[in-house]
Copies of this chain bind each other. A is one copy, B any other.
Amino acid sequence: MIKVGILGASGYMGGEALRILNEHPEVDVVWATSRSGQPLDYFHRNFYGSGLKLVSPEEITPVDAIFFAIPTGTPMKMAEELLDQGTKLIDLGADFRLKNRTDWERVYKRQHASWSVVEEAIYGIPELHREEIKQARVIANPGCYSSAAILGLAPLIKANLIDTQKIIVDGLSGTTGAGAEVDVTTHHPEIGNNLIPYNVVDHRHTYEMEQELGQISREPVTVHFTSTYVPITRGILAICHCFPTQHLLRSDILDIYKGFYEGEQFVKVFDTPQDPKASWQYRPYPWVAAVSGTNYCHIGLDIDETRNRLVVFSVLDSIGKGGAHAGVQNLNLMFGLDENTGLERLGLHPY
């Protein structure tokens, strides 16, 4: 059994990590922390009666791996010492994601405390970095929007089929993505029947998208990203618009995507044919509800042949495949387990 600790289990991301690690057949959750002194079900009622407990961060003991679900800036202060002790680290936050220090320090508005850890950290998308993850001591788990956009765009970039300077991504996020801290933008009377754009240019996750897609492209990629809160509780829809550099058919692109993700269990390409007789054309496109609570990413797409635009839809759960579940997928790889262990549950329907 792999001994795991979760630093910061009172928030949504940490609570989700605890939920799935607790059901993981090869993991023993040794501790999960909160500074509050409140019991676990005070934060997460799904654990009521489970017998699980939170401990103070002062009470933690050595483990094989730690999930960080704590505010940006704290993991970077703890990482080196923990690595020295032989602990593997999976940071669900942003401390180790960006490889460009200038960008990181400007975007996160502080100096970085342990850049060498960033240099060794692997960006935790297994579908792109599987072999490196297997060898890694530190994983920088991706941002939720970043996961959706990168998985949605990687095959296109790889195939060198689009204008890489004019990629537009509209990210729609459920309110879970905003976290457990109360705020006016997530106050139900405000958002319950509303749509709230925020951080509409230069969003932090943009840099992750550009970094990872640029690596695939081997040249700089520009992502034009805008984020909006929508009144769903959980999930991300990334709508990615691209301009092909050559004439393409939907079937050609589907083949490229299916080839790229062949053998991947957690990324599913929607190749449902369009039905020209249907009054509403919605079947070939993925629904975010179907992957909520899971490690799945569903991808669908279409092309406007007349206007020469490609649109890709990528859906995942911001604390699932876009967060804690992906972290567990990375853990499985780091410890030589079957990558799917503890992650195969399907979504709920209805959700």
Contact = CB atoms under 8 A, between A and B. Distances in A.
A307 to B, nearest CB: 5
Given A175-B188, A231-B192, A309-B224, A197 B46 contact: no
A327 interface: no
Nearest to A44: B349
A283 B288 CA distance: 27
Given A166-B243, A172-B172, A349 B19 contact: yes
A97 interface: no
Nearest to A223: B307
Interface stretch (A28-36, A60-68, A127-135, A177-185): A177-185
Contact of A23 (B170, B239, B288, B345): B345
B304 A194 contact: no
A15 B272 CA distance: 20
A239 B243 contact: no
A348 B174 CA distance: 14
A286 interface: yes
Interface in A39-62: 41-42, 44-50
A172 B196 CA distance: 12
A233 B280 contact: no
A246 interface: no
A230 interface: yes
Nearest to A23: B345
Given A189-B350, A243-B166, A292-B348, A232 B194 contact: yes
A46 B239 contact: no
A347 interface: yes
A9 B286 CA distance: 21
Contact of A187 (B48, B180, B243): B180
A83 interface: no
CB-CB nearest 8 A-B residue pairs: A201-B304, A45-B290, A194-B289, A189-B350, A46-B347, A198-B282, A182-B182, A175-B188
